[in-house]
Chain A
């Protein structure tokens, strides 16, 4: 993901050829293959349940309709993902990977402090009444607290092996 992500980022910065070329990159060919295999697999499972239902297994009727529904959902998921990718590459939408990386690098409190500071600076420049010193300290203390909480929670997350 990391290496492919950076390769993608490089591709977005300097696009070589038409936008749709990303669709034939190995990573995307993998997604297409996964898509075809899962669609075929779910269709097969639906067909299997249908035959079981016909053979007298009443329970199978539920699954006979469920599996094709999942297969259709997979196609919708795939189509929407490709449409989003086109939008990202045309600059009509922010890249979720870049946003996620930003959120990871900056704990929420720190990002909030930076944002608050820039908002404050803007309001000072506009002369729209700057907040008192005491309030600023309170805000930074609160943001530091948020950052510490965030760091603790992330540390905790490692126990689940999800990061």
Chain B
């Protein structure tokens, strides 16, 4: 579970950063008739998004998320800045309860 969380987090941040470069650097340059950045970063984001999709999907299955949060998680990789917001939301709402839920029962036994 922790490995799936880590993979998802890494991909959320990498995909998010690349998408921000695409939208806030690539697109303005493309408008200014320098499409090279948008083209290259666009393809990179496309590939990263596929990996993000797989990582987010595996984590969503592991957390047994319902349909709507899963879709929000998967689509976050296509909206600028959204991966960061959704990553925090998923952590607070779903990952932390599951991880503390796993950790709590063992705590009294250790003491």
* Chain A residues packing against B (C-beta within 8 Å): 1, 31, 59, 62-63, 66, 69-70, 73, 77, 80-81, 93-94, 96-97, 99-100, 103-104, 108, 111-112, 115-116, 119-120, 123, 131, 135, 139, 146, 153-154, 157, 160, 162
Within 8 A of A (CB), among B92-110: 92-94, 96-97, 100-101, 104-105, 107-109
Nearest-CB distance from A91 to chain B (Å)?
A: 15
Whether A154 pairs with B92 at a CB distance below 8 angstroms is yes
A63 to B44, CA, bound (A): 11
* Chain B residues packing against A (C-beta within 8 Å): 39, 42-43, 46-47, 50, 53, 57, 61, 64-70, 74, 85, 88-89, 92-94, 96-97, 100-101, 104-105, 107-109, 111
Whether B64 pairs with A123 at a CB distance below 8 angstroms is no
Chain B residues near A160 (CB-CB < 8 A): 85, 88-89
Query: Which one of A31, A108, A153 lies within 8 Å of B100 (CB-CB)?
Result: A108
Query: Which one of A62, A81, A97, A131 lies within 8 Å of B111 (CB-CB)?
Result: A131
Chain A residues near B68 (CB-CB < 8 A): 1
Chain A residues near B92 (CB-CB < 8 A): 153-154, 157
A94 to B64, CA, bound (A): 9
How many A-B pairs fall under 8 Å by CB?
Answer: 77
A153 to B96, CA, bound (A): 12
Chain A residues near B42 (CB-CB < 8 A): 59
Chain A residues near B67 (CB-CB < 8 A): 31, 81
A83 to B50, CA, bound (A): 23
Chain B residues near A31 (CB-CB < 8 A): 67
Whether B104 pairs with A115 at a CB distance below 8 angstroms is yes
Nearest-CB distance from A99 to chain B (Å)?
A: 7
Closest residue of B by beta carbon distance from A81: B67
Whether B108 pairs with A120 at a CB distance below 8 angstroms is yes
Query: Which one of B50, B89, B109 lies within 8 Å of A162 (CB-CB)?
Result: B89
A63 to B88, CA, bound (A): 30
Contacts A63-B46, A69-B50, A119-B105 given; indicate if A99 touches B64 (C-beta within 8 A). yes
